[in-house]
Amino acid sequence: MAMGNSDNHGRGGLGRRSVLSAAGGVVGLGVAGCIGRATSSVQVLAAGSLAHTFEDHIGPAFEAETDIEVRGEYYGANAVMRMVEDRTKHPDVIVSADATLLRDRLYDEFATWDVEFATNSVGIGYDDETEFGQRLEDGEPWYEVALDADEGDLSIGDPDLDPLGYRAVQAFELAEREYDLEGFRDELMTVAYEEPDEPQMMAGVESGSRAAAVVYHNMAVDHGMPFLEFPEAYNFANPELADHYATVAFTTDEEEYTAEGRPVLYNATVNEAADAPDGGRRLVQFLVDNPDLLVDAGLRVADGLPRGEGTLPAEIDV
């Protein structure tokens, strides 16, 4: 079901508070809008799909309540884990779009607990004024439209850098099976553009350089763009289909990390060596206590969330 511009909650202007870093992530410049207003700050390194969520929703509300400024940087979650592991970045709070990825990569050395706080769904965000978008609006099957599109019209995340990228590849494989489309995944991968900068995926559609992108629902909401949600068989939104999603996998080139298909699940932890651990724990608790903010940003807070993993600090109550 396509969702139009009415789903746009609080599209606030990432450009006012953030710039592109040299490494390709989005760097928060201070959600207060007035540098120096907050008495302290907490450094957040988060999945790129959460850039607007933190900059436009979580950050301002958290600062208003606590007088602690959220300073965020946003990259593909694989890149986030690598930056923590090689100590390129030294965040207080680490947030992943794949809960298992964070635990596989960071547990023991950098974290011993985390809190799962939201879910999401995968589909296509698109420009309804393009031929690609018009055909989707007319109800044509997305896979036929994608196969007919020009090279580069459809973008996906870089599967070696972020879970959104490898979930796109996994969705193509599951769709190939679902509709008996022999060779569909490989054919689509030859024409899809792999965007290395996850926060810029919908910006590419908005600017006209792409017609559509395989994104999470909240990313389309961020930009006020229509969103065609994939069916549950391959939108990675239904925890009850976890075994089905797990029938596909993707192995990244650089780290050679194999990710099985699994439901989208965001989790957060505080770095064991955080400079501001108290502020970090307060921010994680804030995510727990404010599901409505997450829903307003286009995320989902499913039954059973929030949920803790490991031995939670005394300050964290789920």
Q: Are 255 and 127 in the same domain?
A: yes
How far is residue 5 CA from its own chain's centroid?
Answer: 20
Does residue 19 form part of some domain? Answer: yes
Does residue 281 form part of some domain? Answer: yes
pLDDT of residue 254: 72
Strand partners, 119: 300
Q: What is the 3-state secondary structure (H, E, C) of the chain?
A: CEECHHHCCCCCCHHHHEEECCCCCEEECCCCCCCCCCCEEEEEEEEHHHHHHHHHHHHHHHHHHHCEEEEEEEECHHHHHHHHHCCCCCCCEEEECEHHHHHHHHECCCECEEEEEEECCEEEEECCCCHHHHHHHCCCCHHHHHHHCCCCCEEEECCCCCHHHHHHHHHHHHHHHHCCCCCHHHHHHHHCEEECCHHHHHHHHHHCCCCEEEEEHHHHHHHCCCEEECCCCCCCCCHHHHHHHCCCEEECCCCCCEEECCCCEEEEEECCCCCCHHHHHHHHHHHHHCHHHHHHCCCECCCCCCEEEECCCCCCCC
Q: What is the model's pTM?
A: 0.83
Query: In terms of residue numbers, what domain contains 301?
Result: 9-120+266-310
Q: Are 138 and 241 in the same domain?
A: yes
pLDDT of residue 97: 94
Q: Is residue 163 within 8 Å of 98, Cβ to Cβ?
A: yes
Q: Are 192 and 242 in the same domain?
A: yes
Q: Are 85 and 59 in the same domain?
A: yes
pLDDT of residue 25: 42
pLDDT, one tens digit for every residue, the chain (318 residues)? 333 333 333 333 333 233 333 333 443 433 333 344 456 999 999 999 999 999 999 999 999 999 999 999 999 999 999 999 999 999 999 999 999 999 999 999 999 999 999 999 999 999 999 999 999 999 999 999 999 999 999 999 999 988 999 999 999 999 999 999 999 999 999 999 999 988 889 999 999 999 999 999 999 999 999 999 999 999 999 989 999 999 999 998 877 889 999 999 999 999 999 999 999 999 999 999 999 999 999 999 988 999 999 999 999 999
Q: Are 161 and 50 in the same domain?
A: no
Does residue 1 form part of some domain? Answer: no
Q: Are 222 and 280 in the same domain?
A: no
Q: Are 211 and 278 in the same domain?
A: no
**Can you read off the two tokens belonging to residue 9?**
């909650």
Does residue 171 form part of some domain? Answer: yes
pLDDT of residue 199: 83
**Of 220, 238, 260, which closes a domain?**
260
d(CA 168, CA 190): 13
Q: Are 116 and 245 in the same domain?
A: no
Q: Are 115 and 126 in the same domain?
A: no
Q: Are 112 and 130 in the same domain?
A: no
> How many independent structural domains does the chain possess?
2
Q: Are 247 and 137 in the same domain?
A: yes
**CATH code of residue 188:** 3.40.190.10
Does residue 3 form part of some domain? Answer: no
Q: Are 249 and 272 in the same domain?
A: no
